[in-house]
Structure 1
Amino acid sequence: MKQITSRDNALFKELKHLATNANARRKSGKTLLDGAHLCQAYLQHRGGPELCIVSESSLQNSEVQQIIAECEKQNAKVVALPDSLYQAISQVDNGVGLVFVANAPSATIAGPLALDAVLLDGLQDPGNLGSILRSAAAAGIKQVYCGEGTASAWSPKVLRAGMGAHFLLEIFESVDLQTLIKESSIPVFATSSHTTTNIYQANLTQPLAWLFGHEGQGVSQNLMALAHAVVTIPQRAEIESLNVAASGAICFFEQVRQRLK
């Protein structure tokens, strides 16, 4: 285990830059996994990280010790930082004191839509995006396509909200959703309050893709016009709309319920 004690250390400066600068993460193709749960999920599904960073105060934590041991077993480099330096790396208050530096996969679209999927048009809130990824993975959906304007799926905030779901999904970013929908071999479903067909009347037993949009503006008109089906989630008239992450969860698990029948 390597110890770094100086703010002038080149590796520490690089780590701080990654932690605080989205462009640096994008250019390097790396991201930060903050906390024991995310790190354990990464070890389970992807193997050893590029780098394991641990605060000195957490070295006696039994959970952290197990993760460090697994990292060393897989020949991953481990670096210990004084708490004062570690705080410049972590974005979590009162966290366990453990961060992985890992590659952010860049998936390439292999062909037209053929598997259950989620399409995201301009979704901007990291919490909503992470929650949708988590619900999608839990429902057995395998692919997520993020259109232009959607938050970075591999940002630390989205990773924390996803709670490990990223490692069970194929995530495609900066996707031309219009072309994807036009060439899709499965139906694409969108939700709207301006339709009479509710989600419980729709046949969701077939492979399909769900299309969700921006938190305030919803799905863009050009994409909505391409959707093969538009359904609504029944709700009280006094509430204008549901949160997009809540809508996603309802859709995914109604799909699960129908298939279980």
Structure 2
Amino acid sequence: MLYTVKTISSPHNDEIKQLTRLVQNSRERRKQGVMVLEGIHLTAAALDAGQPPQRLYLNETASAHPEVQALLTRMPAAVTVIMLPESIMAKVSALASPPELLTLCQRPCPPQPAPDAARVVLEDIQDPGNLGTILRCAAASGVREVLLSKGCVDVYSPKVLRAGMGAHFVLHIHEQVDLAVSLTQFSGRKLVTYLEGSSSLYSQDLTGPVALVFGNEGAGVSPALLALADARVRIPMPGHAESLNVAMAATVCLFERVRQQEAVKPC
């Protein structure tokens, strides 16, 4: 065992107060440049991506859990492991049941995307579940670049991280982007999802460099971004639904791109 182990038993400890603020407050997380990972799966995903935690808080009731022990063997020597009573872990975590562990990781600084790299562009997405699901679908479909407007919910909030299921660690996520400037500089095609769009999604060529733009849950894509679109596309809905949830719409678009790419592969 190379890492250092400490124990904190008081909920009034200053470090516990700071950890609680980090879990609850996006401004504090941005200020400190960190994200909080809750549970075994997200910590393992971060390690798999070569992103070791700065600090690990371990629920003492789970210290003998085989998966926890396996994670601990992967910890670099610089990591400090803090043992917490389950009662403190329950107060710190936002989960209904206290997790086996919490880890603090540095927020990544991704490289600028290539001018022709396919991308998902998100304007003012507010629901953490929607944002996490879109990230998960982007990762699964092979689109690595994700651009978020300043009005999006904190992409590294615990809720978004849980919904993303590790997608954060395989994507290049660009926060607080001026989307109009970015789309103007993009050399590929810009497709904006729009309920009243004149073109069907399925009539579009999605195989090359493309920016898929999705807007706010209530307001949709802003007029400023609509004006930059090469095409305003709709998802055909022959049934009786008025519209699709933004995460569902993104899933349909991303996997239509996958289908088209599969169709043009040589036999």
Q: TM-score, normalised by structure 2?
A: 0.92
The answer to whether 1:68 aligns with 2:93 is: no
The alignment's C-alpha RMSD in Å is 1.5
Looking at structure 2, the residues matched to 144 and 164 of structure 1 have their Cα atoms a distance apart, in angstroms, of 15
The answer to whether 1:56 aligns with 2:60 is: yes
Moved more, 211-220 or 79-88: 79-88
What stretches of structure 2 of length at least 5 have no aligned partner? Answer: none
The answer to whether 1:105 aligns with 2:108 is: yes
The answer to whether 1:252 aligns with 2:261 is: no
The answer to whether 1:33 aligns with 2:37 is: yes
SS at match of 1:174: coil
Preserved CA contact (<8 Å) 2:89 2:99 = no
Give, as a single letter, the amino acid of the residue that structure 2 aligns with 1:115: A
The counterpart of 1:131, out of the listed 133, 150, 155, is 133
Question: In percent, how many aligned pairs have the same letter?
Answer: 39
- Cα displacement (A) at 1:184: 1.1
The answer to whether 1:24 aligns with 2:24 is: no
Looking at structure 1, the residues matched to 156 and 128 of structure 2 have their Cα atoms a distance apart, in angstroms, of 10
What stretches of structure 1 of length at least 5 have no aligned partner? Answer: none
| Alignment CA distance shift 1:51-1:70 (3 Å) | same
Give, as a single letter, the amino acid of the residue that structure 1 aligns with 2:164: G
Preserved CA contact (<8 Å) 1:59 1:65 = yes
- Cα displacement (A) at 1:20: 2.1
Looking at structure 1, the residues matched to 88 and 232 of structure 2 have their Cα atoms a distance apart, in angstroms, of 51
Cα deviation code 1:202-248 (max 9, x no counterpart)? 11111111000000110001111111112111113531110000000
Looking at structure 2, the residues matched to 95 and 257 of structure 1 have their Cα atoms a distance apart, in angstroms, of 40
Give, as a single letter, the amino acid of the residue that structure 1 aligns with 2:199: T
The counterpart of 2:84, out of the listed 81, 86, 90, is 81
- Cα displacement (A) at 1:69: 2.0
Q: TM-score, normalised by structure 1?
A: 0.94
- Cα displacement (A) at 1:163: 0.4
Give, as a single letter, the amino acid of the residue that structure 2 aligns with 1:128: N
The answer to whether 1:201 aligns with 2:203 is: yes
SS at match of 1:218: coil
Cα deviation code 1:115-136 (max 9, x no counterpart)? 0101111111111000000000
Looking at structure 2, the residues matched to 50 and 30 of structure 1 have their Cα atoms a distance apart, in angstroms, of 9
| Alignment CA distance shift 1:114-1:205 (3 Å) | same
Runs ≥4 residues deviating over 6 A: none
